[in-house]
Chains A and B, each alone.
Chain A
Amino acid sequence: MNVTDRKGDLIISGGLCVMGIFVILKARAMPYGEATVPGPGFLPTILGVLLFGISVVLGIKALLSRGNPARVQLGHRSMVSILAAMVILAGLLERAGFLPVMTLFVFLSLKTLSRLRWWMCLLWGLVAALVAYGFFGLVLGIPLPFGTWWYS
């Protein structure tokens, strides 16, 4: 996806604007407190208002500027695949265990980014997972999950 600088600034300032409004509404539901004892809603309200204000100014500035005509490339296929793989990894890590999930993740990443044959990607995935488990799990003692699926 290609987007101009100006359009990107407009979209981001729009997003920040919406966030500011959301924060103000949520903060209003919290106790505001008094001047002598500010409550939990005090600072979020101020920040929400400031965020809204700054994003409006940013948006107006983007609207009025001619902006950089060069287009900014946003995202590409391999990025989406890798990010999806990380989300799936997070979901499966404690269920399937570190070794199988990390093997699969490295396999998918290599398959997406490189030109290695599938069995080479799988082999490197296994090696990477084993080395990582050995160093971080056994040597450094980081508790890497075994996987709840394998408990009988």
Chain B
Amino acid sequence: MTSLQHLLEGFSIVLTPLSLLYCFLGCLWGTIIGVLPGIGPLGGMALLLPLTFKLDPTSSIIMLAGIFYGAMYGGSTTSVLLNIPGEAASIVTCLDGYRMARNGRAGPALVVAALGSFVGGTLSIVALMFFAPALAQVMLRVGPAEEFSLMILALLVVSFVGSSNTLKTIAMIILGLLIATVGMDPFTGHLRFTFGYLGFASGIDFVPLAIGLFGISEILINFENIANVDVIKPSFRTLLPRWKDLKDSWGSMLRGSGIGIVFGFLPGASHIISTFVSYALEKKISKHPEEFGKGRIEGVAGPESANNATTGTSLVPMLVLGIPPLPATALLMSALIIHGITPGPQLVQDHPDIFWGLIASMYIGNIVLLILNLPLVGIFVNFLRIPYAYLAPSILTLMIIGVYGVNTNTADILLMVLFGIIGYILRKFRFDMAPLILAAVLGDKMEMSFRRALTISEGSLWIFVKSSASKIFMVALILILVLQGVAWFMGYRRRMAEEGG
């Protein structure tokens, strides 16, 4: 069957009243989550994760995915109207989006952000449709040694690409891998780092870890700036952009989409990195680079397209390789595993209904989000009128319920608080949490692949470089290390020159 035939089958699964309802609910909830600062798509998905236990796997993944890309859409609203990014990937949108709002052009900024998100999201779904099955075929041939090499490569990419401090990132990765060792050893059943508490026998749950590190720490940081903020509220009449706005931004949307599609495959903070890369590119090629930061529409269109374009392709490594590149995709993966479905190369073959149903739901979700984000922006903005002093207790309540609901264990709430405090302190001193989460999710699989590979090779490390796939990954690994070394040396020489001059 061709991809198009599979896609039509996917639409037949999604175009049922119940699936459409879950898709709509996911998109709506995701947009609200994206608008509210402090929760993020991860928190929003974790809150509804317990609900998905009652649904079939296809419906639950459709709803959770809706929240994921809905939050990407919604994050731009607060960036434009409040200069507060609702989601980390919307930081760059603040630069020009908020300035446009201050110049009385909030409407065009919001419309172009929504259109850019639609274009980026749609193009990335097309890429997902064609890349994922092909990649799955390739990955069916790889063994534990190649899997391990690929995961090491993923972690090194996170360390060296887009990281502001490589040493701190590596420290977080090691910490994440250590967290993954807590619990029962998968081969021998030996309990590791459980300190006598049986609740840790199955390891540290992803939800309290992620919500604590991201959600609780974010709220604790926001407590320091609790104040009423001016909310710019555009009327529907002023929402419409000029023809010139659309003409100026369509090129940026396409370029941003291309950047987002490529970066979506990379693990780590790809959705954030892609927005910065897009912004830098638009500024570089613009005829008026001096106007960036003062309200250029390309500064909104490009990054928003890049941001949403990463959502589609970021699902490829998760679905096909079982390697979630983003914390939110890690939660999607958890949801699949809870339903007894293991992401990996077999997913496309063994569960085509889930894979193609998800892709079809993303096409529909993109249209739903465009409809939600344009006329309903006034309603979403009203959430922002609620002072943070009242919003924070509500958000905390939602987080507590979300964490408790997964295992109905109050120890998870304590874990969430503990990781919240750890995350707060680390973030204050610029330690990034995304690599920690990525490593915590990959740790188990990495260890299993490594030990299996050594067992197969009877202790010989040559297994990690023997096969063609491993050779490719190892070469990529060495290339990254060499490039990083060169970049460091060039930076060192420039600093010496500046100090000498």
Q: How far is the CB of A115 from chain B (nearest CB, A)?
A: 8
Asked if A132 contacts B413 (CB within 8 A), the reply is no
A128 interface neighbour in B188, B193, B394, B405, Cβ under 8 Å: B394
- Cβ of A141 under 8 Å from chain B: yes
Q: Are B174 and A54 in contact (CB under 8 A)?
A: yes
Q: How far is the CA of A141 from the CA of B306 in the complex (A)?
A: 37
Taking a contact as CB atoms under 8 Å apart, the answer to whether A36 and B454 are in contact is yes
The range of chain A's interface size is: 35 or more
Q: Is the CB of A34 within 8 A of B181?
A: no
Is there contact, CB below 8 Å, between B181 and A35?
no
Question: Could you mark each residue 70-98 of chain A with 1 if its beta carbon is under 8 Å from any beta carbon of chain B, else 0?
Answer: 00111010110011001101110110000
Contact with A along B396-422 (1 / 0, CB 8 A): 111011001100101101100100110
Tell me if B481 is interfacial: C-beta within 8 Å of chain A: no
8 Å CB contacts to B: which residues of A86-120?
A: 86-87, 89-91, 93-94, 102, 105-106, 109-110, 113-114
Nearest CB in chain B: distance from A56 CB, A: 11
User: What band does the interface of chain B fall in when counting residues whose beta carbon is under 8 Å from A?
Assistant: 35 or more
Q: Could you tell me the distance between the alpha carbons of A98 and B492 in the complex, rounded to whole angstroms? A: 58
Which chain A positions have C-beta within 8 A of B426? 12
Residue of B nearest to A34 (CB): B459
Q: Contact at B429–A8, with CB atoms within 8 Å?
A: yes
Residue B390 is within 8 A (CB to CB) of chain A in the complex: yes
Nearest-neighbour CB distance to chain B for A54, whole angstroms, equals 5
Chain B residues near A91: list those with CB within 8 A.
410
Would you give the shortest CB distance from B18 to chain A, in whole angstroms? 16
Chain A residues in 8 Å Cβ range of B199: none
Whether B425 sits at the interface, judged by CB under 8 Å, is: yes
Q: How long is the Cα–Cα vector from A140 to B49 in the complex, in angstroms?
A: 10
B174 x A110 contact (CB < 8 A)? no
User: B393 to chain A: which residues have CB within 8 Å?
Assistant: 105-106, 109-110, 113, 128
A130 to B164 alpha-carbon distance, docked (Å):
45
> Is the pair A16, B175 in contact by a Cβ cutoff of 8 Å?
yes
In the complex with contacts A30-B192, A40-B190, A58-B168, A93-B389 CB distance below 8 A:
no
Given contacts A43-B447, A90-B417, 19 further A-B contacts (CB under 8 A): A19-B175, A31-B190, A36-B458, A39-B188, A43-B181, A44-B192, A47-B181, A51-B171, A51-B174, A51-B178, A74-B428, A82-B396, A90-B414, A106-B397, A110-B389, A110-B390, A132-B398, A140-B50, A141-B54
